[in-house]
Structure 1
Amino acid sequence: MTTTTEHSPAQPLAHQHTPRMPFFELAPDFYKAMSRLEKEAAAGVDPVLYHLIKIRASQINHCAFCLDMHAKDALAEGETVERIVQLAAWQESRHFYTERELAAIALTEAVTVLTDGFVPDEVYAAAAEHFDEAELARVIGAIVVINSWNRIAVTTRMVPGSYTPAR
């Protein structure tokens, strides 16, 4: 049996939140520095792969704002809904991704969830099989950057839903 719960914007759900602060207005130089870091991290990483990294890290970090943004960006650039949806269960949906993408997704998880221990040697080795050292450094940089953005957005309770991809 399926049940649905209706809500209206006038009566927000209990788990919805209000932003804590306009972080980037209060720290504009930090925002500019993060934006430059983002641009640098994206350089040299396949855009399709970069979207998968950003979406998977944002799923793990429960960053709704970043999930909204990066899923919309990926869709606007031609990614399929199916691959975005299946990314949350990538280990059971491996056939949707290339071996290279799977290696990057596994590395994204390992770097993002450091509370489970160090990045396992086998995860790093698998990534190193699919990326040369310079590419691997860029992938690691991309993972670090999205985790930084996620932590800002989650901490300041940035609200998802209003983002529109640039044309």
Structure 2
Amino acid sequence: MTTTTGQRLDIAKLAPEVYKAMIALDAAARKGLEPTLVELVLTRASQLNHCAWCLDMHTRDARKVGVTEQKLYLLNAWEEARGMYSDRERAALALTEAVTVLTDGFVPDEVYSEAAGEFSEEELAQLISVIFTINAWNRIAVTTRKAPPVRD
């Protein structure tokens, strides 16, 4: 049933155990990674998945943890923005794209190796967890048509 706001349904209310598990998964996935890196990954995956709700939330959260406006504005073209993103951020963004856009095939060995060169095994496990968690959140929000609030 569509509500007056256009949202189809509210997962938090209708599947509270699933929602609570997602919240716990999200918190666990972020552990050990820099908040700025996490927010860049969350924002980039949300761009790829066309998730307005998550883009609104994560661009605001990114600013709060210190991601610059310039990095946010150029995120959609991060590969061309040489010098803007660290090698570690670039490796995380490449892995984010490969994991998010699986229709292009499997995650390429080159992309995985690049990330493995920038992150410890524990960090890489956490990064992969952040990526699959945001993809799940994006799919929830897009499927239920959760829209961000209009702000002036």
Tell me, yes or no, whether TM beats 0.5: yes
In structure 2, the residue matched to 1:157 is 145
- Check the 8 A contact 1:41/1:142 in 2, yes or no: yes
Structure 2 distance, partners of 1:148, 1:135, is 20
Equivalent residue runs for 1:1-167 within 5 Å: 18-161=6-149
Structure 2 distance, partners of 1:84, 1:34, is 25
Structure 2 distance, partners of 1:91, 1:82, is 14
**Gaps in structure 2 of 5+ consecutive residues:** none
TM-score, reference length from structure 2: 0.93
TM-score, reference length from structure 1: 0.85
> Structure 2: which amino acid aligns with 1:23?
I
In structure 2, the residue matched to 1:13 is none
- Check the 8 A contact 1:94/1:102 in 2, yes or no: no
> Structure 2: which amino acid aligns with 1:78?
G
Structure 2 distance, partners of 1:29, 1:162, is 29
Counterpart secondary structure, 2:67: coil
* Alignment root-mean-square deviation, CA: 1.3
Structure 2 distance, partners of 1:77, 1:44, is 15
Identity of aligned residues (%): 55
Structure with greater helix share of residues: 2
Higher alpha-carbon Rg: 1
> Structure 1: which amino acid aligns with 2:48?
I
Number of aligned residues = 147
Structure 2 distance, partners of 1:74, 1:161, is 18
> Structure 1: which amino acid aligns with 2:127?
V
